[in-house]
Amino acid sequence: MKEKKIKTNALRILDKQKIEYEIHTYEWSEGTSSGLGVAEKLPELADRIFKTIVLKGKTKNLHVCVIPGAAHLDLKKVAKACGEKNIELLPLSELEKNTGYIRGGCSPVGMKKKYDTFFDESALKFEKIIVSAGKRGLQMEADTQKLIEVTDGKVADLLSETEGIF
């Protein structure tokens, strides 16, 4: 019997745009929903695993940040990059309604709407990065520049020098 291929909105968009990707799977659990948790499950890929964080600005606009799994956001830097006076994490109760994704399976590609998307500048150090493919336990590795292009993303300095948020 042929194994059924997993397709998510994010993967369908990459297919449509003819962007090559590689799938990485892991056993998802509540403890692996963070970027660090995923890195523990895929240690050989840890430095290239990026997490997706959705934030809401004072204007009520949503913004998406893609940062290294072990890093923390600097909300002042994020607000400045987004052109917001201030910004905060989108409440989890609003995540699926706005993006179509759930915590632990939120991809920067294929959200319900196109939101301003920002990749931390550290992503440019890698030819390919790994982000959620839109389902818990499923990651996709793709060309960094193509991920930025497919999301109409911008590159900015988003990271905290010290422990920050998320």
What CATH number corresponds to the domain at position 109?
Answer: 3.90.960.10
Looking at the domain assignment, is residue 39 inside a domain?
A: yes
Looking at the domain assignment, is residue 165 inside a domain?
A: no
Q: Write out pLDDT tens, residues 12-31.
A: 999 999 999 999 887 766 65
Looking at the domain assignment, is residue 88 inside a domain?
A: yes
Handedness of CA 27, 28, 30, 34 (dihedral sign): positive
pTM above 0.85, yes or no: yes
Looking at the domain assignment, is residue 166 inside a domain?
A: no
Looking at the domain assignment, is residue 117 inside a domain?
A: yes
Average pLDDT of the segment spanning 107-136: 96
Looking at the domain assignment, is residue 4 inside a domain?
A: no
Domain range enclosing 127: 9-156
- pLDDT at residue 166, rounded to an integer: 52
| Number of domains composing the chain | 1
Looking at the domain assignment, is residue 63 inside a domain?
A: yes
88 has a pLDDT exceeding 90: yes
Handedness of CA 132, 135, 141, 143 (dihedral sign): negative
Looking at the domain assignment, is residue 163 inside a domain?
A: no
CA–CA dist 78, 33 (Å, integer): 22
